Structure 1
C-alpha cells in the first residue's frame, strides 16, 4: 500500500489542479474529484490517507461529506478548504473529526507541512486500528516468559468451559486483558463482554449498575433500568476488584453463582440469567475472609478455577517485548530504543506493572524529537537508579532537566506539564521555584 496517496475534492477545477501540482512536486500521488460523489468513489478505489475537501460542493456540504468519509475509512484525515465566510463551518467540522482547515488562496505555504502532519496522524490511527483488529483473544497478550506462558496455557484450558474464573494479581498485571482473552476463546464470544470496577464507584451506584432497578425504587429512578447482569445474559461479566465489593452485595453475587437468579432494586420478582462471571482482585481474599471483609462461601465459589498473573518484576524478559509493542501502538514512525534506554527499563522496579510501563513509553514518545529513545527521556528516578548514566549529574539536576523538557514540550502549559510528570500543580510550581525555572 503506497503511503503517499492523497485526494483533493473541489469543484473549482483551476484551484484543484494547482493544489494537485504543488503536492505532486512533493512526491504525493494525488487523485482529483470535482464533486463529493466522485470523491467517495475514488476513496473506495485507492489507498488514500488524506483528503483535502472543499466545504461547499455542488452536491454535498463538506461537513456532511466528512461523516461519510470517516464511515468509509475511519483513519483518513480530512483537511477542509474554506473560502472567506465559511471558516465557522470548518471549525465545526474539526469538532466532528476533521484534521484541520486552510483558507483558499491565502494558506498555500501552510499546505505542505499540514499535509505531512496529516499523513503522520493517519498512519498512527491506522496502526492502532490494525492492532485492535488483529489482536484478539490470547494474541493480545504480549510476552514469552515462562510464567506468562504458563498463565496463558491455564487460561486456554478454562476458556472453552462454563467455569467461572478468579484472576489474582497486582494492579496493572493485565487482568482485564486476560478476561477478554478468555471471553474471546469461549462459547460466549459472539455475545457481549461487560466489565465494571467494583472499587471505582460508590456502593449504591454499584448495586444499581449491576442489578438494575424498577421505576420508583429510589429518588431519581424515573424508569426501569436493566443492570449489567441482565445486559450480559448469554455473555460474560467481568467484575474487576471484587475484593472491594460490599458484603451485602457479595451475598447477591453468590446467589447468581449458585442458581443464576437475582432481584432488581425495588422489584419483587426474581430474574434468571445465564452469565459467565470472571472476577479479579489484587487483594489476598483469604486474608480478607479472616478479617470479615469477604464472604468465605463466595470465595470458595469463585476460586474453583484461580489464575495467578505474574507481576512484571518477575517476568523481566518480557519488558522489551512490551515496550516495543507500546512504541508501535503510540508512534506511526519507526522509533528504536537505544541500549541505555533498554537497560534502564530492565533495571527499573515496576511497581505499577504493565500499566506503568505503558504510561512510561507513551510519555517518552511525547518528549522524543528523533528516531531514537535515550535515557534522558525517562523520568529522573530511572536515571538516578543507574550508576553508569549521567554520573556527573545529581538527582536534582536530572529532575530539573526533565521538568524543563516537559515544559518546553507543552509550551509552558503548567497543568499539562504536571499531568505528564505525574505530580500535582502545586508541586510543579514549588519545583520550578526550587530550580529557578522561568514561569513563562
Structure 2
C-alpha cells in the first residue's frame, strides 16, 4: 500500500518534530521544511498529498503560499496553522484554496481528523483529474474488467445493457469483488462518459461529515464553515456518483438521498433553497438488504429506487479460471510501478494462487501480487514470494496421485473450505453438506490439522 505523504512547514523545529511524530504514528510518510524555499523544493521532489503550513515564516506568508501551491499542484490540500487567530487571514486563506485554517495549541486535537478529511478530498480531486485523462484514452468502457469466466461474462453482459440508459444501478457481492471497477466501466460506456465520475465510501464518514461531503454546506452553517462548499452531488452534475457501501448510510440521510432520486434536488446544510442536479447513481453493497431492511436500518422505498437494475458480482472463488489473467495483469502493473525486473510467475506459484480460496477476493489477490513483486529477488515470482497462507493451502501432487484420485481431491476440498471459514468446523460442515461428526472423522482420516 502506498503511504500518503504529508509536508510540515514551520520554522519552529520542536513543533515540526512533534507534529511529525504524531502523524508518522498514524502511518503517514512525513517530510519537513523550515521555510517556504525548502517547502517548494520538497513539493517538486516528492508527491505530497497534504501540506501543514505555518502562516508566518522567515521568507514569506503561508496564506499567499497556498495560492502558489494550488497553481503548481492543484490536487494538493493545504491546512494552515497560526499562533494567532485572525479572521481576515482565515477568510483569505480559504479564498486562496486552503482546506482549513486553525490555531496552534488550542486546536491540536483537530489536526488528525482534519488531515484525514483533507486526504479524502485529495483522492476525490485526483480521481476527477484521472477521469479527464481517461476519457481521451479509453475506448471500451469495460477494458479494465479482467476475466473470461461465465459468471463474470454474465455480469459484464448485464452492465453493458444498462450502461447506455439513465437507470440507477445497484452492484452487489462480497467485499473486494471489483464493484468500483464495474461502476467506472458503466460510467465510461454511458452517455455521461465524458463527464465526472465521483466516488465515495459511505462507511468512511460520520453522519454529519457524510452529509456535508454529499450535499455541501453554506458558509456559517456550522463551526469552521467559513465559505460555501459544493458537495459531491454538485461535483458529479451531469455525470455519475458512485455510492460504495450504501448499506452503511445513516437513516437520516437516506430520506435526503431518496428525494434526489425522485425529484433531482436537495437542500445544502444551512440552505433553504433547493439545489437541482442531474446525476446518475450507481450504488454498491456487500450487505443482505432483506436482513438490513427488516432490522430497520435501511428504508425499503430507497432500496427499490436503488435496485432498479441490480447486478450481482461473482466472488473470486466462483471464477477461479480468471486467476491467471488477473495475476498476470497485477504482475505487469506492479513491476512497472516499482521498476522491478519481474517478468513472469512460476508454474508452482500460479498453481498455488489457483488453489487458494481468496476470502478477500480480487483485492486480496492484488495485495498478494504486490507483495510478491516486492519480495521477488529474480525475474520469476516463486511460491516462496507469495503470502504464507497461500503457500500453506497449496500442496503439489505427489507421485502416484492424480487429479482423479478421489481421496486427494476430497482432502484438498476440505482444506480449502476450512481455510475459507478460518477453521470454523461447524460452518465448514454446513458448507460441505455433511454432519459435524463426519467432518471430524474425515479430518482424522486425512491427518488435517
Cα distance 1:265–1:174, how it changes in 2: closer, same or farther (>3 A)? same
1:349 maps to what in 2? Answer: 357
Alignment counterpart, residue 96 of structure 1, candidates 44, 55, 76: 44
Alignment of 1:208-219 (within 5 A): 208-219=212-223
2:343 maps to what in 1? Answer: 335
1:383 maps to what in 2? Answer: 391
Aligned partners of 1:190 and 1:240: how far apart in 2?
Answer: 21
Aligned partners of 2:305 and 2:214: how far apart in 1?
Answer: 19
Secondary structure at the counterpart of residue 143 of structure 2: helix
CA positional deviation for 1:335: 1.5
1:183 maps to what in 2? Answer: 187
Aligned partners of 1:95 and 1:213: how far apart in 2?
Answer: 31
Gaps of 5+ in 2: 1-36, 48-132, 399-449
Aligned partners of 1:193 and 1:243: how far apart in 2?
Answer: 20
Secondary structure at the counterpart of residue 196 of structure 1: strand
Task: Count residues with an aligned counterpart.
Answer: 273
Alignment of 1:115-194 (within 5 A): 133=137, 137-194=141-198
Aligned partners of 2:275 and 2:267: how far apart in 1?
Answer: 6
Cα contact 1:207–1:249 (8 A) shared by 2:
yes
CA positional deviation for 1:95: 5.4
Alignment of 1:24-423 (within 5 A): 96-97=44-45, 133=137, 137-332=141-336, 333=341, 335-388=343-396
1:123 maps to what in 2? Answer: none
Secondary structure at the counterpart of residue 194 of structure 2: coil
Aligned partners of 1:364 and 1:334: how far apart in 2?
Answer: 10
Aligned partners of 2:266 and 2:138: how far apart in 1?
Answer: 37
Aligned partners of 1:187 and 1:133: how far apart in 2?
Answer: 16
Aligned partners of 2:264 and 2:42: how far apart in 1?
Answer: 48
Aligned partners of 2:229 and 2:46: how far apart in 1?
Answer: 36
Aligned partners of 1:167 and 1:341: how far apart in 2?
Answer: 32
Cα contact 2:140–2:189 (8 A) shared by 1:
no
CA positional deviation for 1:285: 1.2
CA positional deviation for 1:186: 0.7
Secondary structure at the counterpart of residue 389 of structure 2: helix
RMSD of aligned alpha carbons: 2.5
Aligned partners of 1:247 and 1:154: how far apart in 2?
Answer: 30
Cα distance 1:255–1:98, how it changes in 2: closer, same or farther (>3 A)? closer
Aligned partners of 1:386 and 1:356: how far apart in 2?
Answer: 16
Aligned partners of 1:95 and 1:227: how far apart in 2?
Answer: 28
Cα contact 1:383–1:389 (8 A) shared by 2:
no
CA positional deviation for 1:384: 1.8
CA positional deviation for 1:304: 1.0
1:88-139 CA distance string (max 9 Å, x none): x99975752489xxxxxxxxxxxxxxxxxxxxxxxxxxxxx99x95585101
Secondary structure at the counterpart of residue 252 of structure 1: helix
What TM-score comes out, normalization by structure 1 length? 0.59
Cα distance 1:136–1:202, how it changes in 2: closer, same or farther (>3 A)? farther
Cα distance 1:173–1:278, how it changes in 2: closer, same or farther (>3 A)? same
Secondary structure at the counterpart of residue 225 of structure 1: coil
Secondary structure at the counterpart of residue 281 of structure 2: strand
Cα contact 1:199–1:241 (8 A) shared by 2:
yes
1:402 maps to what in 2? Answer: none
Aligned partners of 1:195 and 1:369: how far apart in 2?
Answer: 37
Aligned partners of 2:164 and 2:363: how far apart in 1?
Answer: 28
Cα contact 2:218–2:270 (8 A) shared by 1:
yes
Aligned partners of 2:198 and 2:38: how far apart in 1?
Answer: 37
